[in-house]
Amino acid sequence: MSDEINTSGETAADQDDEEDDSIISLIDDEGRTSEYEILDAIETEEGMFVALMPLASIDKETGEAEYMILQVDVVDDEEELAEIEDDELLMALDDLFRERFKELYGDEDEDVPEDGVDSLAGA
């Protein structure tokens, strides 16, 4: 499954607002649109990867949310996001992102679940 990054709905005002720069809309294979916050991106020998938090997954009471890690692929000069099939690679990336989250957001991992990484299924 892959998703396309949809930036066609952005206005100049949206691009000026730093907070909006980290929010993207993705269209899944069935045409459904969902919004995600880009938490971080890293490049490794295996490729480029992003950690995304579905905005719909944020628990309004606790503020906790799950995140997912997807691979960035370029197809016909367009960026697409794809699930990571290799479980070992996914777990290694999860460890890398968790370390980076500590650096970026402090020691409190409120937005990072302890039980692992969500997949794109159902998004």
Dist. CA 8–CA 29, nearest whole Å: 18
pLDDT for residue 48: 96
* CA angle (35 as vertex; 71, 63 as ends), nearest 5: 100
Q: What is the pLDDT of residues 47-84, one digit of tens each?
A: 999 999 998 887 888 877 889 999 999 999 988 899 99
Q: What is the dihedral of CA 8, 9, 10, 11, to 10 degrees?
A: 110
Q: What is the pLDDT of residues 80-116, one digit of tens each?
A: 899 999 999 999 999 999 999 888 877 654 444 444 4
Report domain extents, the chain. 2-105
Residues with Cβ within 8 Å of residue 42, at least 6 apart in sequence: 48, 49, 93, 96, 97, 100
